[in-house]
Structure 1
């Protein structure tokens, strides 16, 4: 049985114009022509049209469909995998947008109409987050913060109180706050040290977020110095009293340089930059210099600190340094 183009159009749900276009680009060429030149389609043509329509449902361009039909569909598994990945990205984007809209809805409910500054600040926060995190990571952040039902306002208030009273980072109060602060951030990122470093980089680099969160670079340094003093107490079990005197003089001074270096190395690790590349090797040299500097230039003390870091999990929590990063840096150093 042969179908004319109008009949095939009605039964397939396509337009005559679309079928003519398929013929023009040799995607679906009718197997026969009538004496007066009308296109005639047989069962094989109908089967091919079915395959074309099935592939079109995957949002593939006609040129790609043509190539796939030519090679017998060999690339179909790869296409399906790509489409699944694309859908997952769309789902993550939709979830992130849903979270942002929920936040704006809450603002409207609590504060009525947000001011122009509030709207712009919300948009700036969204834009800044997109520069540092993938859609899936943003979804994780939003979901976990909603589950925790908090925005760390009480921690920020305590931070401002300590700084306002002139409390030093080496105090017990500052150490306790720093530990709670890092624990809350790690909870937000699901314990992912790489995401924690992205949070640090975003909040360090984006002045707009300083105004939104009330935490500027000075406040961030207060937290990191307080954490450094907590770690010094752990190192005391591995070092002599004379070595601890040296550490107190040099260790905390290097604190501010570490997060930026770790963020840069993690970025290269995520992008699969070869450890032997010039950029990574330059960072590896900085790593070596900082490691020695925090040990007052003493290689023996540097070795003790490295050993303690490997043995004590509390030293690694919130540092942004994990086994994959250590292996990456070690390979870079070996290739110097």
Structure 2
């Protein structure tokens, strides 16, 4: 009995969780050969060999039901599994070496020119996605169901993307940047946090091309266009991780953002969204946007508890965990882009608090965040009327 391993010991030695080993037992995939009088699991050397086969097949992309069928086949053997696993590892090593070479090239290019060709980024992403398999049957069925659930929204997004492609819109334009963020958000919602599915989907498009053009209604040209758009968006956010606040915001707007950030920190959130902007308008009594909101019955006293209601109050973060300046949420960045367009339309280079409020209302026409939800749904504010009142107040000032 001394050569037998308890479930906790086996979990520790293999890096698996005891819950996984319990589940394998429940479905009959790995039933321990022995049990104690108290019914505790004990694993023999043969059980461990079977576990090695299971783990190898899992890494090769087999589903649990496929693994069970393989292990129950009389023609199946451990040397066969090892050979398959070795072959797969050789492929991964080759791909990893190619990826390392391309990343080194990008790093060198950034050192010398402070920029990088989009083609190099695309090639690197292709290499990354090739390190994963295509979908398992379970994943395929899951994605087909999700596609049907969100088909109308997905096709509307594709229509907008293809329209910008046809017009040749610059990748750095606010419209394409917004579509890139929306596409990323849709993909994240589509795969629901499963990075393996996202990588497999990317590889499928990039390596199979026209054979999968009909899947999801996205052809390869559209897919490549969005990859480039995301590359521009990502590279821009990496090289400019924080929006240059002093450059594009007036001092009054900077004060609004500071007050909004303070209010958001009080509920221990670590990102600044449109609700933070709204709190900033209302906390600062001197800005025109806040004054218009007050005139329409929107006050700090009414909004503050509603923000807490919808965001909640998180546990206090440990010292040093919050950044010195809170990053903007993706929707807040879109609002800033729209506010800057408002400012530039009147030949100004900086965003006023009024521009920022109008940016929130403009963004609400695309989707809308918590700020506009609170205004419209909780406080019954007519957003079109609010826009008119802000524009009227600007004209009077």
Tell me if TM exceeds 0.5. Answer: no
Higher relative contact order at CA 8 Å, sep ≥6: structure 1 or structure 2? 1
- Please give the TM-score of this superposition, normalised by the length of structure 2: 0.27
Higher helix residue share: 1
